[in-house]
Amino acid sequence: MPRFQFTIHATDGKARRGTIAMQRGEIRTPAFMPVGTAATVKAVKPQDVRASGADILLGNTYHLMLRPTAERVHKLGGLHKFMGWDRPILTDSGGYQVMSLSELTKRSEEGVAFASHLDGSRHMMSPERSMEIQRLLGSDIVMAFDELVPTTSTREVQAKAMERSMRWAKRSRAGFDSGEEHAARAALFGIQQGALDEGLRKASADALKDIGFDGYAVGGLAVGEGQEAMFGVLDYAPGQLDETKPRYLMGVGKPDDIVGAVERGIDMFDCVLPTRSGRTGQAFTRHGPINIRNARFAEDQGPLDPACACPVCGTWSRAYIHHLVRAGEILGAMLMTEHNLWFYQALMADLRAAIEEQRLTAFANDFRAKYQATKG
């Protein structure tokens, strides 16, 4: 297997059907990456995550650096061995969570000083430290460290953050390359910033291209701006990036967000929604999400989603899962999460097939019509 090779097999409009080949395996795109925050996709064993159709997982640098620490994971043979997942893992840079979860943050050109949300201990995160942590974890796809500001910030604030992110992208590239053994088998993605401003997005894309990365993320979206504003950016942002490389929309999203983003040329996604929703009683179905705690499911003998091929839907009823979730049984969270992961992976498989067969628009319209039919 090559270190990193992206092949586009088919296109339909702006959408691409591709494969990323890496040493730990192939990633079919468009791809959805389940989130394994603390070296686990919550409530699901790795082999069951794989059985749902996932080719790659996401791990969170911020959480792992604090507990059990990247140094300990490295000592124990790396994240793959530690958690029992031998396929590719993408790690985020830690930046988003340092800036949203930690306390007493202080930003400077060097990086971000912060206090752990777990025990108040002081840490410093910088492009170099982020690259070191992701290397210690043994990540396959490493994300550059960037600075985030709210989309509601002034253009001046956004411009300064974007420019600093590009300086940090350059330092991330150098930090990644200095870990020669790791850099020989892993990939590094840059992150486009610029909030909702087309000019800033273009300047960011050009700066990243000059540095050169294996793939590019559209960053700074899915932070509360709403689907319309997000799609507004996605109408032009993917086209500003190197078309021969994968494009990753971080932290997205709801099923209809994913469909719309694939139509606009996005190749990779991650989101906590299928797993987090599974633990709070929300199941995804072809007709929209349902809340399994609702009394109307108490004697419903049908599966969570009649169109689903997952092991949960093949065995257990809505009534049983309703009972488990209401009773606070751990199995309830496990079954709900497994089903939701299958739902997301089936959606990605359907999108890939639709692109291959040049019928993405018809598929997307049909999906939206059905998915919204019983929403809310």
Q: Which residue type is seen at 138?
A: G
The Cβ of residue 206 has, within 10 Å, a number of other Cβ atoms equal to 13
Query: Among residues 252 and 310, whose Cβ is nearest to Zn ion?
Result: 310
Minimum distance of Zn ion from residue 55's CB (angstroms): 19
Query: Among residues 184 and 309, whose Cβ is nearest to Zn ion?
Result: 309
Given 92, 140, 214, 257, the catalytic residue: 92
Rounded to an integer, what distance in angstroms lies between the CA atom of residue 20 and that of residue 172? 22
Minimum distance of Zn ion from residue 99's CB (angstroms): 36
CA atoms within 13 A on the CB side of 293: 12
DSSP 63-83: HHHHTT-HHHHHHTT-HHHHH
Is 270 one of the annotated active-site residues of the chain?
yes
Is 92 one of the annotated active-site residues of the chain?
yes
293 close to 332: Cβ distance less than 8 angstroms: no
Minimum distance of Zn ion from residue 142's CB (angstroms): 33
Query: Among residues 68 and 288, whose Cβ is nearest to Zn ion?
Result: 288
H helices within 179-283, ranges in order? 180-183, 198-211, 227-234, 237-240, 255-263, 273-280
Q: Residues in the site for Zn ion, rule: CB under 5 A? A: 308, 310, 312-313, 339
Query: Among residues 191 and 313, whose Cβ is nearest to Zn ion?
Result: 313
The Cβ of residue 180 has, within 10 Å, a number of other Cβ atoms equal to 7
Rounded to an integer, what distance in angstroms lies between the CA atom of residue 255 and that of residue 283? 12
Minimum distance of Zn ion from residue 323's CB (angstroms): 17
Rounded to an integer, what distance in angstroms lies between the CA atom of residue 11 and that of residue 272? 28
Catalytic residue positions, numbered: 92, 270
